[in-house]
Every structure is written in C-alpha cells, then in structure tokens.
C-alpha cells in the first residue's frame, strides 16, 4: 500500500522536535539578514558579531 510507509516515526519525542524547530527558526533569521547571507561583511569581527547577535535574539 502506498501510504503505509510515511508518517511520524514510532519513537516520536516532542522535545526533540521542539529543539529542532528553534534551531531552524534561528537559521531562517540569519538567512534573512543579507549581510551574513551574501557575506558583505568582510571583516571577521563584524561577521562574528552578526552571528552572535543572531544567537542572542
């Protein structure tokens, strides 16, 4: 049958997925900041500051 292979795994842990969601949202926020996405900030200090700022938010 076609649909019997998909779906949620039997050992579904809600806390694991909640943590993954937080990480994916942070990456989305960082992608939206064009300075990091296109690497316009050539200075390492500025680049690191942007990454740290993204993690603090």
Between 1-5, 12-16, 31-35, 48-52, the lowest mean confidence (pLDDT) is in 1-5
23, part of any domain: yes
27, part of any domain: yes
29, part of any domain: yes
CB 25 within 8 A of CB 1: no
pTM for this model (two decimals): 0.44
CB 53 within 8 A of CB 33: no
Residue 5 is given by DSSP the state S
Structural domain for 40, as ranges: 14-56
5, part of any domain: no
Per the structure, the count of domains in the chain is 1
**In sequence order, which residues have a C-beta less than 8 Å from that of residue 26 and are 6 or more positions away?**
54, 55, 57
47, part of any domain: yes
Band (pLDDT 50/70/90 cuts) for residue 8 is low
């Amino acid at each position: 049958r076609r649909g019997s292979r998909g779906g949620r795994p039997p050992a579904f842990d809600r806390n694991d997925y909640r943590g993954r969601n937080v990480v994916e949202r942070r990456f989305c926020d960082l992608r939206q900041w064009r300075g990091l996405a296109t690497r316009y900030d050539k200075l390492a200090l500025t680049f690191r500051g942007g990454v740290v700022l993204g993690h603090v938010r």
